[in-house]
Amino acid sequence: MSSRAFITGVSGLELSATEREFIRGMRPWGFILFKRNVETPGQVSALVEELRRCLGDADAPVLIDQEGGRVARLGPPHWPVYPPGAVFGALYDLEPALGLQAARLSSRLIAADLIDLGITVDCLPLADVPVAGADAVIGNRAYGTEPGKVAAIARAVTWGLEHGGVLPVLKHIPGHGRATADSHFRLPTVDTSKEELERTDFAAFQPLADLPMAMTAHVVFSALDPAQPATTSATIIRQVIRGVIGFQGLLMSDDVSMNALAGSITERTRAIVNAGCDMVLHCNGKLDEMRDMARETPELTGEALGRAERALASRKQPQPFDRQAARAELEALMDRVGTA
């Protein structure tokens, strides 16, 4: 049975009757979890199972933002704390092999946590390249300020996720690092020249263009499209994301309910679809918004369907893994940062 081209959040620890009705009627492609959906391992596993059962698809993708650092939907007392991306960058500066190994270990451990719960997609890695004076929304989530280093660490993070059976989502394409505002609250505008963007921001994403999925940035790049953020800009999606960067995987929006986007949820959804995003993401679990978004989202067909199918088909079975040994090695590497 076909699905619509959207990913939805839900409101709480279990599904309400109206959410079940919405899922059965509107048939999202996948789901995304947040802290409001998380209490214990048993509860999360049951919610994931219920989401898939309600949709009638045992393989429906379930996503989460589990980066480490301050962006972690799973945490103590049931799940470990993982380092933010900047720690891998600091280790990389000591010795590149150390930074890459720490990134692989951390994401492989995260993948093991997720697979235990039935979660199969992590919104990670980041390839954002921050600059001085940018908003702290990226901050220490970033791996560094040099595109080659950022791409190398992002590739190592991808390796850990994929070997753990979890699909990566590259974000925030074509770059959120220069933004001087948090797009959760208002729309950032970047006035950097096209040439400089290609040399820095876009260059970090180019070596990762083969990843199966990516999430857009709610950021205006005035040199490319002064009127629309990347998420709703057909120009940026066609010329930069699909063109300069060369990304050919499944392209999903960042959250349609974020304040960076203008207009009603209906208007925002229409703009995202018309710009060329394959998938609309809605996160806040507000059912009225979810209904408005879903009504404006088309059936998943054509090239978008093909990209979605290829993304899911690329997911590997988890490889053999000694979790205890990996955790000990990661902790030893973290100690190197503390004593540097």
Residue 191 annotated in active site: no
pLDDT of residue 339: 55
pLDDT of residue 235: 98
Distance of CA 44 to the CA centre of its chain: 19
Q: Which tokens go with 94?
A: 């000591």
Q: How far apart are CA 51 and CA 58, in angstroms?
A: 9
Exposure on the CB side of residue 260, measured as CA atoms within 13 A: 27
Of 128, 201, 254, 278, catalytic: 254
Of 59, 116, 184, 335, catalytic: 184
Q: How far apart are CA 273 and CA 243, in angstroms?
A: 18
Asked if the peptide bond before residue 172 counts as cis, ω within 30 degrees of 0, the response is yes
10 Å Cβ neighbour count for 215? 24
Residue 254 annotated in active site: yes
pLDDT of residue 135: 79
pLDDT per residue rounded down to tens, the chain (340 residues): 689 999 999 999 999 999 999 999 999 999 999 999 999 999 999 999 999 999 999 999 999 999 999 999 999 999 999 999 999 999 999 999 999 999 999 999 999 999 999 999 999 999 999 998 887 889 999 999 999 999 999 999 999 999 999 999 999 999 999 988 777 877 889 999 999 999 999 999 999 999 999 999 999 999 999 999 999 999 999 999 999 999 999 999 999 999 889 999 999 999 999 999 999 999 999 999 999 999 999 999 999 999 999 999 999 999 999 999 999 999 999 998 875 5
Task: Name the residue type at position 53.
Answer: R
- Residue 4 backbone phi and psi in degrees, to 5: -90, 160
Q: How far apart are CA 53 and CA 61, in angstroms?
A: 12
pLDDT of residue 180: 82
DSSP H helices, the chain, are: 17-26, 41-55, 85-94, 96-117, 147-163, 194-199, 201-205, 234-235, 265-275, 287-295, 302-313, 323-339
CB 124 within 8 A of CB 67: yes
pLDDT of residue 1: 67
Q: Which tokens go with 308?
A: 């979605």
pLDDT of residue 9: 98
> Which residue is listed with tokens 């960042």?
254
Q: Which tokens go with 25?
A: 């009627």
pLDDT of residue 184: 80
Task: Name the residue type at position 270.
Answer: R
Element containing residue 252 per DSSP (H, E): strand 250-255
From the list 87, 88, 167, 94, the residue with the least C-alpha distance to 124 is: 167
